[in-house]
């Protein structure tokens, strides 16, 4: 055998050895991935290890709400045999796409009626030190959205030592239809099925999260926009007793007057009549696509199918319950963004379509009569700027809710921290819309962030505060600027790359809104 032949043989032997080693290595890696598994109440599930975080997706936390389970409280999951593959997301709940101009600048799939799935990101499975848990409720006006969105990926947040859970919940007509027949069959009260789904997910966390290394005694429920509104509803729901221990509300609260059950009943009967069926049995027999189309017709006509005071899940008007201190006593971290209304200024169907101060003032007078003049005085013209009426809508929808949440929590003896997010992301959207609605989400989860020093600094601040709060019920910790409680002085933290502490944010405007909402509540 010549040297060339010997070299060829040697090369083939070496190649065989390398191939064998690669096979062994890849097989061991595959085996390791398969071993990222836990046993929960309903069976064994397997996930994947990604970027050092144990990831489990598409875990069912309730039975599919289809057929006779449509418009019923979430039913238990049937246990399974074998190992459930939790490597892929489950579908979003059934919905229409977001309209152009929506504050949620991502695409969503149409989804499925079978959608009650959640996702878990855990830094460590087998540990003696259970980690705090953060359960995220997505926004989307209670009509759209889902836990599948890349912006809600929990990998980076879980890397800070917390277990992150994101959930789906029934939306629009599937989640919030009320009807007299539903109330009769369910022992009084109907609607709020989406809220019941959220509470069912919290029960799932209580029963199962220790298997993922999470502490069921340290659960923070947090959400943005409609998700934060849901958090404020969970805080007053007797069904959520003992299921969470801290609350974060980002740009959303349900302290303004909410529709009552009678209103929901009337709308539900109108839905059935529009469908040409006699009642709930007929509506349940319709294909899901036809039910969704019904919702589309009502939405386009301005009739909203949404959460309500049903007497059971939400027993009374939330504002009255907060004023009495009749809510779950947990610490709260709440706040809103400086330019919340910028994304809504051209959003179809929203009453923001003012082009100048004259239109703004005329619109207020039409809606509020003589009561408009104090608001015109409080939001005066600024050299032709649209800012006064954008601030008006920001405070009406978000600012008053968040400040009132903090104020009434403190009045009841529970600690609250208020933030005002003023940082403008270094993105095309940020440069156009400022510190817009939902802009802060990226700085909490750490997904899709610009690489500028300022953006990274704000991310480090918010990540630190949010994680500290989940750990201890207090956002403060080593290396972070001191964030004082809201207290009697109405203290807040202006969040940007150089955070500042202030007091009584927009004091006059908040007093006006408190007066207006108190009068509205008295008329209910």
* Nearest Cα residue to 37 out of 59, 60, 62, 22: 59
Given a cut of 90, is residue 354 above it in pLDDT? no
Given a cut of 80, is residue 30 above it in pLDDT? no
Given a cut of 50, is residue 20 above it in pLDDT? no
Identified catalytic residue from 265, 328, 437, 459: 437
Output the pLDDT for position 10.
46
Catalytic status, residue 260: no
**Mean of pLDDT over the chain:** 89
Q: Residue 25 — very low, low, confident or very high, per pLDDT cuts 50/70/90?
A: very low
Residue 317, both tokens:
């008007």
Residue 158, both tokens:
């879980």
Hunting for tokens 């032997």 — which residue is that? 13
pLDDT digits (tens, 9 = 90+) for 224-237: 999 999 999 999 99
Share of the chain above pLDDT 90, in %: 75
Given a cut of 50, is residue 16 above it in pLDDT? no
Q: Contact, 212 vs 335, CB < 8 A?
A: no
Catalytic status, residue 225: yes
* Nearest Cα residue to 420 out of 322, 353, 330, 510: 510
Given a cut of 90, is residue 349 above it in pLDDT? no
List the single range of 326-335, 384-393, 426-435, 436-445 with lowest mean pLDDT.
384-393
pLDDT digits (tens, 9 = 90+) for 438-490: 999 999 999 999 999 999 999 999 999 999 999 999 999 999 999 999 999 99
pLDDT digits (tens, 9 = 90+) for 294-310: 998 888 888 889 999 99
Coarse DSSP helix, strand, coil percentages of the chain, rounded to the nearest 5 percent: 45, 15, 40
Output the pLDDT for position 382.
79
Identified catalytic residue from 102, 141, 183, 225: 225
Q: How far apart are CA 181 and CA 280, in angstroms?
A: 7
**What are the structural domains of the chain?**
44-329 (3.40.50.1820), 331-524 (3.40.50.1820)
Q: Contact, 437 vs 340, CB < 8 A?
A: yes
Share of the chain above pLDDT 70, in %: 89
Residue 85, both tokens:
């593959």
> Exposure string (b/e) for 371-407, b if CB count within 10 Å is 16 or more?
ebebbbebbeeeeeebbbbbbbbbbbbbbbbbbbbbb
List the single range of 17-31, 185-199, 297-311, 502-516 with lowest mean pLDDT.
17-31
Given a cut of 70, is residue 104 above it in pLDDT? no
Q: What is the mean pLDDT of residues 378-390?
A: 82
Output the pLDDT for position 207.
97
- How would you classify residue 21: left for phi > 0, otherwise alpha for psi between -120 and 50, otherwise beta? alpha
Q: Contact, 221 vs 231, CB < 8 A?
A: yes
Identified catalytic residue from 160, 340, 410, 440: 340
- Between residues 176 and 105, which one has the greater pLDDT? 176
Q: What is the mean pLDDT of residues 287-292?
A: 95
Given a cut of 70, is residue 26 above it in pLDDT? no
Q: Residue 223 — very low, low, confident or very high, per pLDDT cuts 50/70/90?
A: very high
Q: Residue 11 — very low, low, confident or very high, per pLDDT cuts 50/70/90?
A: very low
pLDDT digits (tens, 9 = 90+) for 184-195: 999 889 999 999
Q: Residue 198 — very low, low, confident or very high, per pLDDT cuts 50/70/90?
A: very high
pTM of the full structure? 0.91
Catalytic status, residue 478: no
Q: Residue 161 — very low, low, confident or very high, per pLDDT cuts 50/70/90?
A: very high
Backbone angles phi, psi at 166, to 5 degrees: -120, 145
pLDDT digits (tens, 9 = 90+) for 230-260: 999 999 999 999 999 999 999 999 999 999 9
Given a cut of 90, is residue 276 above it in pLDDT? yes
């Amino acid at each position: 055998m010549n040297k060339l032949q010997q070299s060829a043989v040697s090369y083939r032997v070496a190649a065989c050895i390398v191939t064998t080693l690669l096979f062994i290595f890849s097989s061991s890696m595959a085996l390791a991935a398969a071993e990222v598994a836990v046993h929960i109440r309903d069976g064994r599930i397997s996930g994947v290890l990604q970027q050092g975080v144990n990831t489990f997706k598409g875990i069912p936390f309730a039975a599919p709400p289809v057929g006779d389970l449509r418009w019923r409280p979430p039913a238990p999951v049937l246990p399974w045999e074998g190992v459930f593959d939790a490597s892929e997301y489950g579908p979003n709940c059934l919905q229409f796409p977001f309209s152009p101009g929506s504050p949620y600048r991502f695409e969503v799939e149409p989804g499925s009626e079978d959608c009650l799935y959640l996702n878990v990101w855990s830094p460590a499975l087998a540990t003696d030190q259970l980690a705090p848990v953060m359960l995220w409720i997505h926004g989307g006006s209670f009509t759209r959205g889902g836990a599948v969105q890349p912006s809600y990926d929990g990998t980076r947040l879980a890397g800070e030592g917390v277990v992150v859970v994101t959930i789906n919940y029934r939306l629009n007509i599937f989640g919030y239809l009320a009807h007299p027949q539903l109330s009769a069959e369910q022992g009084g009260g109907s609607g709020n099925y989406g809220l019941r789904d959220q509470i069912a997910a919290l029960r799932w966390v209580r029963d199962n999260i220790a298997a993922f290394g999470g502490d069921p005694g340290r659960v923070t429920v947090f959400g943005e926009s409609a998700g934060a509104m849901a958090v404020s509803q969970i805080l007053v729901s007797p069904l959520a007793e003992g299921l969470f221990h801290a609350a974060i509300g980002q740009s959303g609260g349900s302290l303004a007057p909410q529709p009552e059950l009678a209103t929901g009943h009337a709308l539900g009967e109108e839905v059935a009549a529009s469908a040409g069926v006699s009642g709930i049995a007929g509506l349940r027999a319709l294909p899901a696509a036809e039910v969704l189309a019904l919702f589309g017709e009502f939405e386009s006509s301005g009739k909203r199918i949404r959460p309500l005071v049903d007497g059971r899940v939400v027993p009374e008007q939330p504002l009255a319950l907060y004023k009495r201190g009749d809510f779950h006593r947990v610490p709260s971290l709440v706040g809103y963004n400086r330019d919340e209304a910028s994304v809504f200024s051209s959003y179809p169907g929203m009453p923001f379509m003012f082009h100048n101060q004259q239109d703004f003032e005329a619109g207020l007078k039409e809606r509020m009569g003589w009561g408009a003049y104090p608001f015109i005085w409080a939001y005066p013209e600024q050299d032709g700027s649209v800012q006064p009426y954008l601030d008006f809508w920001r405070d009406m929808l978000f600012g008053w809710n968040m400040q009132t949440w903090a104020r009434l929590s403190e009045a009841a003896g529970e600690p609250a921290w208020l933030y005002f997010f003023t940082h403008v992301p270094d993105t095309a959207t940020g440069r156009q819309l400022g510190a817009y609605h939902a802009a802060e989400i990226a700085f909490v989860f750490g997904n899709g962030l610009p690489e500028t020093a300022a953006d990274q600094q704000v991310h480090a601040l918010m990540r630190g505060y949010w994680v500290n709060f989940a750990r201890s019920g207090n956002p403060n910790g080593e290396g972070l600027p001191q964030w004082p409680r809201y207290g009697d002085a109405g203290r807040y933290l202006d969040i940007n790359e150089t955070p500042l502490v202030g007091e009584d944010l927009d004091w006059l405007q908040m007093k006006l809104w408190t007066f207006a909402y108190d009068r509205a509540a008295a008329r209910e």
